[in-house]
Amino acid sequence: QSFGSTAGTVADTSNYAEAGTAAGSEIGADIASLKLVTTVSTAQVQVYPVVIFSAECIGCVSLSGYDAVIPKVVMPQPAVTDPLGQSGSVGWKSWYACQILNEDWLYRIECGASTIS
């Protein structure tokens, strides 16, 4: 069966004489027993990953218990460049580990789009 109504850009791969004869510029997909290819290769397509998972799919635990987060606070002192001592910084260190608990509850989808508006 041919899908020539779309100006010849989409065709059933069973129309090819032998498997693997599609041109390198043709891209497509298998849908059940129907294989579609298209020769539209001039458009740039951005591929976006989408990750879907349940609450119990992964498990994370802090490795140092109650003191897992160690905050660091730098209290500024007045200086010539900062006469009021207002420029300080805050940072932290933490230790944790994560593990995939059940891969059946984790799924990745890659979507392609030429434009997003």
Q: What is the pLDDT of residues 35-92, one digit of tens each?
A: 555 555 556 778 888 989 888 899 988 777 667 777 898 888 888 888 888 888 999 8
In the chain, where the domains are located: 1-41, 43-77+87-117
Contact call for residues 12 and 3 (beta carbons, < 8 A): yes
CA distance 106 to 55: 10
Q: Within 10 A of 106 (CB to CB), how many other CB atoms are there? A: 14
Is pLDDT of 13 > 70? no
Is pLDDT of 109 > 80? yes
